[in-house]
Chains A and B, each alone.
Chain A
Amino acid sequence: MAEVNNSSVIQLLADRFGAKVSGVNEPYGLLTVETTKDVIIVVLTYLKETEGAKFSFLTDITAVHYPDTKHIAVVYHLHNMVNKIRIRVKVFIHEQTPSIPTATVLWNGANWMERETYDFFGVKFEGHPDLRRILNMDELNVHPMLKQYPLEDPNRVDKKDEYFGR
């Protein structure tokens, strides 16, 4: 079996996708790449099935909101258990039109992870079989993990962050 490591995966992705996979970085040894939402499923399929990558285990899907750049990053963590190597794939989508194709076509486990991400960030996973809220109540009309929603009632004067050292 050929050696699979960060540099071989970077090379593989560069050969196949060129400029469509960018932002290659290795914080704390975990390979991180960025891609765009029109090729995300192709990239994930390639990472899952190609010899030399075989990231066949979906560890996690989540999102991060960056209000300064008006983006939501959808973050996928994949794992190759045989070669003990992980990869993080990020897709930046605009916060006004948060939609991305669903990964449930590749992993059934993505179902609830995407529902959670939808619930908290409002990311619409196109083609998801059952995109409903999962942890919050159905009547909630906001996506609470977005940064514009404060943790506490902003009208209260007795619970200012500065009094709590935060």
Chain B
Amino acid sequence: MNHNQPVYTDNDPQNELVTLNLGPTHPATHGVFQNVLQLDGERIVSGVSTIGYIHRAFEKIAEHRPFYQITPLTDRLNYCSSPINNMGWHMTVEKLLNIKVPKRVDYLRIIVMELARISDHIICNTIIAQDTGATTTFLYLFQFREHIYEIYEEICGARLTTNIGRIGGFERDFNDIAFAKINKFLKEFPVALREFESLLNRNRIFIDRTAGVACVTPEQALDYSWSGPLLRATGVDYDVRVSEPYCSYDEFDFEVPVGTSGDIYDRYLVRNEEMWQSVSLIEQALEKLKHEPAGIFHADVPDFYLPAKEEVYNNMEALIYHFKIVMGEIDAPKAEVYHAVEGGNGELGFYLINDGGRTPYRLHFRRPSFINYSMYAKMSEGMLLSDAIINMSSMNIIAGELDA
């Protein structure tokens, strides 16, 4: 936020600002963002962010849907890591209903969530590289996002908006192909990630473009309620997985990488290191799975977990539960819950108020992209336009999560 603007005399013809509409559909902004910038040459004097272009009223819709129908809405928040949103929502409802899920489900969930984190960070870091001019790294690492989507496909059948899992566990067990694909990914991805790092980490052009650009102090970051990799890049070691462990994260051995200056380079390094930690978490989870009884993939909650189809056709009780769940005849207790998970971009919170009915009375998503992005216009002041572009890439603002 340094204001090193040139000084003009009163009647200097250059003493005129240019208004630039960056967005809403500018190819450099990777999403529907509009920023009306006042430019002095290439330097941004001030900016106003306009958001809401893909607002879909999810909080209102959620008030009219039973819990299991809200999962597809959460997919569409941060659609780059939808499994984390799905799991966060399931865990919120499980907290509301006091459901204890089996350990095996926790480990399977961690595998899916960490894969989602990797795919989220792949997108962010490769796009930083792309915007600094390195298309090779973008295309090279992006194929692993495709491999992750293939793993999702084996688990749930979908790729982007996954709707993985159900309240109480998963809709089906991971099949052998899924495990084979996860193992293959764990073998191949570290090689590619190491190459990706060797192309960029000490790359002079990359460092010149990113180091010392858009520095944020920890005080500023906390003042703007930042969370996630952006906050950690400033040096604050806040990670929901460690601070309030959910889903058995406390049993795992992993590190929370932090940066020092909060600039774009630090954000990039933090995200890269988190991918390494995620790989290690998946390996640990696969190891722990070997000690769990096979075939368990959901908790025993007949009121909220749809019974298997063959049960429904052959078993009276299962048919009744199926009917009651689908027709929404099962009420949840009156309660108020806040549950947070560490999303790809930071603390993803679900604030759920239930008045005893089958739909939430109020559901609020604490969306990290929305909250992180509020500093963007202020940060851009005094910055070069080209730096502001990579600054936006490095914040990994996902339009779906921004607008809900």
Contact = CB atoms under 8 A, between A and B. Distances in A.
- The answer to whether A and B belong to the same complex is yes
Interface of A: 27-28, 30, 32, 56-60, 62, 64-65, 75, 77, 81, 84, 86, 88, 107-113, 116, 120, 133-137, 144-145, 151, 161, 165-166
A77 B371 CA distance: 14
A123 B254 CA distance: 43
A107 B64 contact: no
A64 B338 CA distance: 14
Contacts of A108: 223-224, 374-375
B288 interface: no
A161 B64 CA distance: 8
B266 interface: no
Interface in B328-349: 328-329, 335-338, 340, 347, 349
Interface stretch (B27-35, B198-206, B356-364): B356-364
Given A28-B95, A84-B243, A166-B358, A64 B371 contact: no
B338 A30 contact: yes
B153 interface: no
B228 to A, nearest CB: 13
A57 B225 contact: yes
B404 interface: yes
Given A28-B337, A60-B349, A108-B223, A136 B328 contact: no
Given A60-B366, A136-B55, A166-B359, A81 B351 contact: no
A77 to B, nearest CB: 6
Nearest to B328: A165
A136 to B, nearest CB: 6
Interface string B209-227: 0000000000000111110
A87 to B, nearest CB: 11
A75 B351 contact: yes
B66 A165 contact: yes
Given A59-B349, A136-B55, A151-B61, 20 more contacts: A28-B95, A56-B222, A57-B222, A65-B362, A77-B338, A77-B366, A81-B236, A81-B243, A107-B223, A108-B224, A109-B371, A112-B370, A134-B52, A137-B52, A145-B60, A151-B63, A151-B64, A165-B328, A166-B65, A166-B359
Contacts of B403: 135
Nearest to A77: B338
The main secondary structure of chain A at its interface with chain B is mixed
A5 to B, nearest CB: 14
Contact of B51 (A28, A77, A109, A135): A135
Contacts of B370: 112, 116
Contacts of B358: 166
Output the residue of A59, A111, A133, A137 with the most chain B CB within 10 A.
A59
Nearest to B54: A135
B57 interface: yes
Contacts of A107: 223-225
Contacts of A60: 349, 351, 364, 366, 371
A115 to B, nearest CB: 9
Given A60-B351, A136-B52, A144 B57 contact: yes
A26 to B, nearest CB: 11
B374 A27 contact: no
B338 A86 contact: yes
Contacts of A165: 66, 326-329
